[in-house]
Amino acid sequence: MESDVVSALNKAWCVSCFAYSTCNTKLTFKNEFVEFDMKPVCKKCYEKFPLELKNRFKKLTETLGRK
């Protein structure tokens, strides 16, 4: 069975399954997202994350050389 595929975050995603990992809202090519743990997270959900969690993740990604 073939289906359309979208590439994001160095992964191939089934278009019908490509959604924000936190709220499961389907993504389109126009949606913006924040990368968190190699998964797409909507900005609204990301803003609800505890500040310490966001800071730790930012520090980790900088240490690994990713932005």
Q: What is the pLDDT of residues 27-66, one digit of tens each?
A: 887 889 999 888 999 999 999 999 999 999 889 888 887 5
Identify which of 3, 36, 6 has the alpha carbon closest to the alpha carbon of residue 21.
36
Query: What pLDDT does residue 40 have?
Result: 94
- The answer to whether 64 and 38 have CB atoms below 8 angstroms apart is no
Distances (CA, A) of 35 to 1, 2, 3, 58: 29, 27, 24, 10
Domain extents for the chain?
5-65
Query: What pLDDT does residue 66 have?
Result: 56
Structurally, what CATH architecture does the domain formed by 5-65 represent?
Answer: Ribbon (2.10)
pLDDT band per the 50, 70, 90 thresholds, residue 2: low
Query: What pLDDT does residue 46 have?
Result: 94
State pTM to two decimals: 0.73
